[in-house]
Amino acid sequence: MRRIWLVAQREYLENVRTKSFWIGIFLLPVILVLSIVVPVLMEKTRKPRHFAVLDRSGWVLDAVRPQLAQAAGRFVLEAPEADPNDPAAEERLNRMVRDEELFGYFIVGSDPVEGSAGSQYLSRNLTDTDLTDWFGELVSGEVRARRLERERIDPRLAEWIQSPIRFEARKVTVTGEAEEVSAQDRLRQWAPVGFVYLLFFVVFTAAQMLVTNTVEEKSNRIIEVLLSSVSPIELMGGKILGIAMTGFTTIVAWIASFLLITRYVPPMLGAPMTLDFSVITRDPVYLTSFVAYFILGYLLFAALLVGIGAVCNTLREAQNLMGPITILLIIPLFAMVPVGKDPNGMLAKVLSFIPPFTPFVMMNRAAGPPALWEYVATTALLLVSILVALWAAAKVFRIGVLLTGKPPKMSEILRWIRAPVGTVAVRRD
Amino acid sequence: MADHALTLERVTKSFGDFRAVDEISLAVPKGSIYGFLGPNGAGKTTTLRMVMSILYPDSGTIEVLGHQNPEAVKDRLGYLPEEKGLYKKMKTAEIVSYFGRLKGLSNHEANRRARDLLTKFGLGDWIDKKCEALSKGMGQKVQILGTLIHEPELVILDEPFSGLDPVNVETVIELILHMKREGRTVIFSTHVMEQAEKLCDYILLINKGKKILDGPLSQVKLGGPRTVIIDYDGDGAVFRSLPRVSRINDAGKTAELTLQDGANPQELLRLLVDRLTIRRFDTREPSLHEIFVRAVGGKTDA
């Protein structure tokens, strides 16, 4: 155990000293801060949109004028002197739009109460609809008021007629009671997705490290010195543990920075704090199952990867063998949306029982949640396959690490796994 | 067997159909320098790997430092494998200390000894340098220090001289003698007979997995044929007419004659004096090289 710990320690220090580790640690917080700060800054630094109005109705512009003054920071009315019915005015405004003196201009039809006939919006940029949305709403409000007035309809009556029926969403809990849906429930619905991505990330980076470090030890021939001091099993265990520690360091750093950033950065910019994570930390079962699946998922893939690392002598060979593993990792990512939508559906249930997918899919289904027997059965199956994988990896590792030359064929590896320890015939160089 | 650091009893190891080690038996006395000699592929590395319990024998027993199970004494052994390597990104002191900690030293003790050893053997300036910056000879030295840090009772060096220039060969020889002076048992393998001849108290000759002969170097030499070295001027063809000469190695100005048992060097000299100008006439014990070539040649012919 002490030797496993020593190997793990060395492995951890070696990985932590690489640049890519630190890039990985800082990448997420940097992206997160940028994704909060940049939109706010863009909003704050955006130049006001200048626009003009040719009001052919004669009353609309005057009616909305008080609201225009309120929006002066964002939208600025220009060229009030233009004669709405003069064709030359349109040409002049067109030129101003072309020269970017104006973002766009509106022509209000002669009788907007009657309908939209003759109303136009002209701009070079039709994808940015902020201006039309805002102005359209102002004008529509005024027009609607006039229509109600003309038909002698009480505005309150109109509002009541138009009001739709809304269905209040309530969630049926495990205990069979109905409760209100809050923002926390939505978080609960989406947190599993975050966890699936985290697990994917950890397994994927661990894959790189496990394979490259083992291959490095083999090609550097350090492996034999190590084997004179530690047993292959200790070496393998130390590697798996050391790389797990590296991965978890990254994850802890990410979760901490995620919590800190979402808590403190928006208020600094004057935005309200919107997310409350206490729902996750308040529910120990929920959190524990994530941690457990995390560890189990990592162990299963680590066993497969360490076996691959042991039989390869170059990174190129290792990359070829890692192809199937990558596919195993990507399938649960593809299945994430369908499983998330129907957490207790056929697809979700079937995938839960395939060990390499179990941790991903069960986390994904957490909002469902799956029945207790499913938790027990899938986890048992996963545990058994982890033990089998570790046992097989240990045997492959023990033989493979001393092997030079071209990597063994699948049939040869299977023979190693089947044969009792110590009796396997190893090829010579 | 308290006086033996290592004994092998009819140890056999096969890889598939290939018999790498075939019923090897030997005993390494404590405190000696013991040489495993043989050509490439003779089974030296496989034997050493079995002693280190990296491989396991198919049959036969291995007793290391009095234990039948070599794993029990792993921490009292030092091992330098044939293929040498270091972690490129680790500093020299770190890696030497790491090897020490793997063998059971405390952090503090391992760090202290690593720095002491590196300083003592002229690598003081390299303590904080990464291994990738070392030359091959320095790397080898760092590795050997890594096998010594935990003060092992038995040190096993597989081809410690391979790929080294003469200066570094001297350094490694110095290290081996240093270990002997401290009372450690050293086993090393080599296919270069000259080094074994200079260093070894005992040798094992091995070829194609089989033991050819073993024992104290002085006895092995007595058992071999005697040779005569002659520096001369004249026609070397005369050597072929001499009686009781089994092998002639004539280089034109110097000839090495291997004598059959019972041959008298005095008589040879008398026969040669009239026909050649003799500048040197030197009878001596056979070199290990000759013993080896003869033993291996004899076996293969048989």
How far apart are the CA of A349 and the nearest CA of chain B, in angstroms?
Answer: 45
Cross-strand bridge partners of residue A105: A52, A122
Domain count, chain B: 2
Domain boundaries, chain A: 2-38+184-418, 47-161
Which tens digits make up the pLDDT trace of A55-103? 888 888 888 888 888 877 788 888 777 788 888 888 888 888 888 888 8
Q: Report yes or no on B257 lying in a domain.
A: yes
Q: Do B171 and B260 lie in a common domain?
A: no
Q: Do B269 and B205 lie in a common domain?
A: no
Global confidence as pTM: 0.73
Are B83 and A224 within 8 A, CB to CB?
yes
Residues A294 and A288: beta-carbon distance below 8 Å: no
Is residue A417 scored above 80 in pLDDT? no
Are B54 and A224 within 8 A, CB to CB?
yes
How far apart are the CA of A410 and the nearest CA of chain B, in angstroms?
Answer: 18
Q: Report yes or no on B300 lying in a domain.
A: no
How far apart are the CA of B240 and the nearest CA of chain A, in angstroms?
Answer: 44
How far apart are the CA of A300 and the nearest CA of chain B, in angstroms?
Answer: 26
Q: Report yes or no on B31 lying in a domain.
A: yes
Residues A104 and A125: beta-carbon distance below 8 Å: yes
ipTM above 0.95, yes or no: no
**Residue B138 amino acid letter:** M
Residues of A in contact with B20 (CB under 8 A): 428
> What does the DSSP 8-state code read for residue B124?
G
Instruction: Tell me which of B215, B242, B265 is where a domain ends.
Output: B215
Are A425 and B14 within 8 A, CB to CB?
yes
**Mean local confidence (pLDDT), A221-231:** 82
Residue B36: give its domain's CATH number. 3.40.50.300
Q: What average pLDDT is seen over chain B?
A: 84
Q: Report yes or no on B127 lying in a domain.
A: yes
Q: Do B236 and B183 lie in a common domain?
A: no
DSSP string spanning B217-274? HHHHHHHSPPEEEEEEES-GGGGGG-TTEEEEEE-SSEEEEEEPTT--HHHHHHHHHT
Q: Do B121 and B154 lie in a common domain?
A: yes
Which tens digits make up the pLDDT trace of A7-33? 998 889 888 888 888 888 888 888 888
Cross-strand bridge partners of residue B211: B206
Q: Tell me, what's the pLDDT at B302? A: 32
Q: Do B48 and B125 lie in a common domain?
A: yes
Nearest CA in chain A to B132: A220
Residues of A in contact with B89 (CB under 8 A): 14, 17
Number of CB pairs < 8 Å for A and B?
Answer: 71
Instruction: Tell me which of B196, B215, B234 is where a domain ends.
Output: B215
Measured between CB atoms, which of A7, A224, A428 is closest to B81?
A224
In which domain, by residue range, is B231 found? 225-284
CA quadruple A400, A403, A408, A413: dihedral, nearest 10? -30
Could you tell me what percent of chain A has a pLDDT over 70? Answer: 88
Q: Report yes or no on B160 lying in a domain.
A: yes
Which tens digits make up the pLDDT trace of A262-288? 777 777 766 655 556 665 666 666 778
Query: Half-sphere exposure of residue A265, counting CA atoms within 13 Å on the CB side?
Result: 20
Q: Do B179 and B257 lie in a common domain?
A: no
> What does the DSSP 8-state code read for residue B67?
B
Residues of B in contact with A230 (CB under 8 A): 102
Tokens describing residue A28: 């997420």
Which tens digits make up the pLDDT trace of B71-124? 778 888 889 888 777 888 889 999 999 999 998 889 999 999 999 989 988 888
Q: Do B278 and B201 lie in a common domain?
A: no
Nearest CA in chain A to B52: A228
Q: Do B172 and B255 lie in a common domain?
A: no
Residue B236: give its domain's CATH number. 3.30.70
How far apart are the CA of B289 and the nearest CA of chain A, in angstroms?
Answer: 27
Could you tell me what percent of chain B has a pLDDT over 90? Answer: 11
Are B99 and A220 within 8 A, CB to CB?
no
Q: Do B101 and B234 lie in a common domain?
A: no
Residues A248 and A205: beta-carbon distance below 8 Å: no
Nearest CA in chain A to B17: A425
> What does the DSSP 8-state code read for residue B119?
H
Q: Report yes or no on B89 lying in a domain.
A: yes
DSSP string spanning A128-186? --HHHHHHHHHHHHHHHHHHHHHTT--HHHHHHHHPPP-PPPEEE-TTS-EEE--HHHH
Which tens digits make up the pLDDT trace of B123-168? 888 888 888 888 888 888 888 888 889 889 999 998 888 878 888 8
Q: Tell me, what's the pLDDT at A38? A: 83
Q: Tell me, what's the pLDDT at B111? A: 92
DSSP string spanning A243-291? HHHHHHHHHHHHHHHHHHHHHHHHHHTTPPP---THHHHH-HHHHHHHH
Tokens describing residue A399: 């033989």
CA–CA gap between residue A422 and residue B16 (Å, rounded): 13
Residues of B in contact with A425 (CB under 8 A): 14-16
Q: Do B151 and B36 lie in a common domain?
A: yes
Q: Report yes or no on B293 lying in a domain.
A: no
Residues of A in contact with B88 (CB under 8 A): 216, 220
Measured between CB atoms, which of B71, B83, B89 is closest to A221?
B83
Residues of B in contact with A218 (CB under 8 A): none
**CATH number assigned to the domain with residue range A47-161, chosen from the 4 options 3.30.365.10, 3.60.20.10, 3.40.190.10, 3.60.21.10:** 3.40.190.10
Which tens digits make up the pLDDT trace of A142-176? 999 899 988 898 888 988 988 888 887 777 766 76
Are A231 and B71 within 8 A, CB to CB?
yes
CA–CA gap between residue B139 and residue B133 (Å, rounded): 9
Q: Report yes or no on B208 lying in a domain.
A: yes
Measured between CB atoms, which of A10, A220, A227 is closest to B98?
A10
Residues of A in contact with B107 (CB under 8 A): none
Is residue A395 scored above 50 in pLDDT? yes
Q: Do B65 and B18 lie in a common domain?
A: yes
Selected for mutation to probe chain A from B49, B69, B98, B105 (highest A CB count within 10 Å) is B98
Residues A183 and A278: beta-carbon distance below 8 Å: no
Q: Tell me, what's the pLDDT at B137? A: 81
Residues of A in contact with B82 (CB under 8 A): 224
**Mean local confidence (pLDDT), B217-236:** 80
Is residue A328 scored above 70 in pLDDT? yes
**Residue B234 amino acid letter:** G
How far apart are the CA of B198 and the nearest CA of chain A, in angstroms?
Answer: 27
3-state secondary structure of A221: coil
* Chain B contacts to A (CB-CB under 8 A): 14-16, 18, 20, 49, 52, 54-56, 58, 71, 74-75, 77, 79-90, 98-99, 101-103, 143, 146-147
Which residue, B3, B2, B5, is CA-closest to B186? B5
Q: Do B129 and B274 lie in a common domain?
A: no
